[in-house]
């Protein structure tokens, strides 16, 4: 039987999960490690039981909770959109978070299409939301410094007409996660 390749992503960064990841990475290549048996998977997951790794996800991975086939089903059903690696922003020289509040005087489909296309073209845009209230759109950027923000701003206003742009630089990240709450599952 060929070993299954599994990529594990732990959302929380704590000493136990970091130690486990390092142990598992030593067993394989890069971000992958080989599992030669379900028992090996159960053993690795059991070591995570006291960490913030989501217990519901653990149940999905374990054989009595549906096994690894359940992960494929969840992916086919669109519940799992992608398997990703979370990269360290500091290591990639993109540690400055900037929130950009945008207002426009144009509220029509053509402008929105152009705006969405412009925003999608910038790799430093991490998120962009259409908002209610005084701000029309909120953009979150990952940048190395203020000069990079200034260059972004000039490229943005060169692509699309805006009536007001207000930027806010994050001084400290209190919480940032990609982990969705599972307590609302139907």
Q: Which of 87, 100, 91 is nearest to 148 (CA)?
A: 100
Q: Work out the pLDDT band at 76, boundaries 50, 70, 90.
A: confident
CATH fold, domain 96-169, is Alpha-Beta Plaits (3.30.70)
The answer, as to whether pTM is greater than 0.85, is no
Give the pLDDT confidence of 36-54 residue by residue, as tens digits. Answer: 445 555 566 555 555 444 4
Per-residue pLDDT at 170? 97
Asked if residue 137 lies in contact with residue 121, where contact means CB atoms within 8 angstroms, the answer is: no
Q: Work out the pLDDT band at 35, boundaries 50, 70, 90.
A: very low
> Could you tell me which residue, 12 or 14, shows the higher pLDDT?
14
Domain ranges of the chain: 4-76, 96-169
**Cα first-last separation, the chain:** 37
User: Residue 97, CB half-sphere, CA atoms under 13 Å: how many?
Assistant: 13
Number of Cβ within 10 Å of residue 146's Cβ equals 12
Residue range 2-25: mean pLDDT, rounded = 45
């Amino acid at each position: 039987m060929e070993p299954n390749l599994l990529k594990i992503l732990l959302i929380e960064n704590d000493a136990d999960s970091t130690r486990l990841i390092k142990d598992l990475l030593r067993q394989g290549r890069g971000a992958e490690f080989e599992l030669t048996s379900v028992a090996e998977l159960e053993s690795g997951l059991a070591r995570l039981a006291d960490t913030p790794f989501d217990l519901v996800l653990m149940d999905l991975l374990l054989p009595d909770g549906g096994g690894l086939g359940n992960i494929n089903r969840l992916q086919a059903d669109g519940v799992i959109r992608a398997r990703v690696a979370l990269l360290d922003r500091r290591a990639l020289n993109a540690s400055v978070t900037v929130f950009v509040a945008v207002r426009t005087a144009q509220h029509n489909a053509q402008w929105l299409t152009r705006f969405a296309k412009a925003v999608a073209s910038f790799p430093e845009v991490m998120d962009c939301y259409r908002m209610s209230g005084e701000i029309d759109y909120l953009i979150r950027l990952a940048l190395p410094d203020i000069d990079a923000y200034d260059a972004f701003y000039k490229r943005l206003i060169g692509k699309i007409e805006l009536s007001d742009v207000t930027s806010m630089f994050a001084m400290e990240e209190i919480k940032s996660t990609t982990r969705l709450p599972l307590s609302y599952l139907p």
